[in-house]
Amino acid sequence: MQDRQNKVLFYGPLGKKKKFIVGGGETGNYRTIYLLKKNNYEVSILQKPYPEKNVFGYGVYIIKMMLIIIAMTFRLLTKKINIVHISGFYLHLIYHEFFLVTISKMFKKKCIYELRGGGVVESYNNRSFIYRLFFRATLNNASVILCQGKSYIDFLKKITTVPVFHYPNFILNEFLTTPSGLNGTSSKIELVYFGRLAKSKNIDLIIQTCSELQKQNVNFNLELIGKGDRKYIEHIKELCEYNNLSDKINITPPVKHQLLKQKLNKKHFFLFPSNEKREGHSNALTEAMSLGVVPVCSNAGFNAEIVGDNNLIVSEFTPLSYASVVNNIWKAGQWKQYSSSVANRIKKNYTEQIVEDILVKAYNYN
């Protein structure tokens, strides 16, 4: 890529200092920055602040958000910035993001407005007239729009004439390897969940699904990999004990990519019954599938379009529903078939090279 017009000001959340990043938004932003630098863009970063969840903390947060507007204006005045990339989360942030996009336009900079996470259509339909007004104005003031979910593209094209690109999460080349070749005939089913251990991710239902499998005399292990609120972790452990599952469920802290890959190469099913309201394109789901770990997941966010197989999407939040999908695939000897299918789907749709080409095309769009 040529070096002309290659200086980018990137705004978005990138995690708190000295803390392990498990959020999909932060991970996605780091990967975008990685792709930009890989393509010879000079990236200047303006980090979105995080609120502390108390009255004083929210007050400080509001001040910091106002200062972000001043900081962006100052950088556009003093730095040779050609492109502004705003990683947006709309909802209550749309008003702030409107000012950032509008300032970029005032300074005649190319503005990439990226819609991260799920909830675009729902928030537009259910929120106020004022929200819809600001949302449309934000889109219309941008130069290019990136959207995480393909299912939102047609909707966005109805309310703006600004070009929209489907920009999904993806697998890094270093993570994309040939699955280990596990078979589906071993005596024990290896289950896994990794990511945030939070109520919205429905970890309770994963434990209850294991209880149902135990009632059906299925031989299995489950590994929960991640971190969460201390009280919620204690709740999970108590739920395991209550259901006599402590010897079958192992809870481990987050691990680096290389070790995660080693762990996933020994797993059969990825349980993901998320009911997260803002569920978007789950990095965990994509990474699990890339290594042939068969997902059994809810219809939250973009799960269905990523998985591409309704047999693996569970419409009911019941332990029996999830246990039945796992047990039926295993008993029918179909695990290997599903494993190969989901791994190939990632290779055809969500690799670093595929998504890098989309980003470069969006940045070069005139």
pLDDT at 22: 46
pLDDT at 17: 65
Report which secondary-structure segment, H or E, holds 116.
none
In angstroms, rounded to a whole number, what is the distance separating the alpha carbons of residues 71 and 82? 16
* Rounded average pLDDT over 316-342: 96
37-48 per-position pLDDT tens digit: 999 999 999 999
pLDDT at 292: 94
- pLDDT for 18 beyond 90: no
- pLDDT for 298 beyond 80: yes
- Which residues 6+ apart lie within 8 Å of 360 measured at CB? 1, 39
144-153 per-position pLDDT tens digit: 999 999 999 9
Average pLDDT, the chain: 93
**Single-letter code of the amino acid located at 261:** K
* Rounded average pLDDT over 312-340: 96
In angstroms, rounded to a whole number, what is the distance separating the alpha carbons of residues 286 and 40? 27
Do strands 144-147 and 220-225 pair parallel, antiparallel, or not at all (unpaired)? unpaired
User: Which strands form 220-225's sheet, in the order they lie side by side?
Assistant: 249-252, 220-225, 189-194, 269-272, 294-297
* Rounded average pLDDT over 267-280: 94
pLDDT at 1: 42
pTM for this one? 0.92
- Which residues 6+ apart lie within 8 Å of 251 measured at CB? 197, 223, 224, 233, 236, 237
- Which residues 6+ apart lie within 8 Å of 65 measured at CB? 49, 96
pLDDT at 57: 86
**Single-letter code of the amino acid located at 27:** T
pLDDT at 48: 94
DSSP string covering 217-275, please? T--EEEEEE----HHHHHHHHHHHHHTT-TTTEEEE----HHHHHHHHTT-SEEEE---
